[in-house]
Amino acid sequence: INAVIFVIAFFMLSEFQRDDLYNWGASNQFFVLQQGEFHRLLTAMFLHGGIAHVVFNMLALYYIGQNVERFFGTLRFALIYFLGGLAGSVLSVLLNDAQTFSVGASGAVFAIVGAELVFLYQHRKLFGDMAKTQLRNLLFIAVLNLGVGFASNATTGGVAIDNWGHIGGLIGGLALAWF
């Protein structure tokens, strides 16, 4: 879905139409909380700011998502993805300022990471050293990505990464997988 929407937005729509799509679908505190445009909490998960943005999110989803879908099944995987991404959008809207517009699937991808962390932790005795190694790898990836996000927000200009969306997605994925 993410790839199809990206291709349509960047290769089939005019710049004016693409701007309208992002103006309508990006997550933003003012439009969600003040104007009641709650659809933005979901639509923002399917919009991306550029080719690198969508490629990195989809690569992470592909590599990490394969295990999570195998562990939880397709339906539960989809629920973790959508509800975890929604948790990321909600935290983003609540904790970012009104000037912040957010797009991307990374909150949902962080939910998938959180779900795999929980699964491996809960079954660490069964998986042995493989679980310990994978847990360390996933924690490293999450901390590295959050660090890059904090660094992007420390500089002025350029693209800012929505760490609140990442943290919300991670918390959502952890909670959904735990329960």
Q: 127-137 pLDDT, tens per residue?
A: 999 999 999 99
User: Residue 157: left (phi > 0), alpha (psi -120 to 50), or beta?
Assistant: left
Q: How far apart are CA 174 and CA 179, in angstroms?
A: 9
pLDDT category at 149 given cuts 50, 70, 90 is confident
Q: DSSP letter for 101, please.
A: E
Which residues make beta-bridge pairs with 102?
27
For residue range 65-110, what is the model confidence (pLDDT) as tens digits?
999 999 999 999 999 999 999 999 999 999 998 989 999 999 999 9
Q: Is 48 a catalytic residue?
A: no
Does 166 qualify as catalytic in the annotation?
Answer: yes
Active-site residue (options: 27, 89, 102, 106): 106
Q: Could you give the count of Cα atoms lying within 13 Å of 61 in the half-sphere of its Cβ? A: 23
CA 3 – CA 144 distance, rounded (Å): 25
**What's the predicted TM-score (pTM) here?**
0.92
From the candidates 48, 53, 89, 166, give the one annotated as an active-site residue: 166
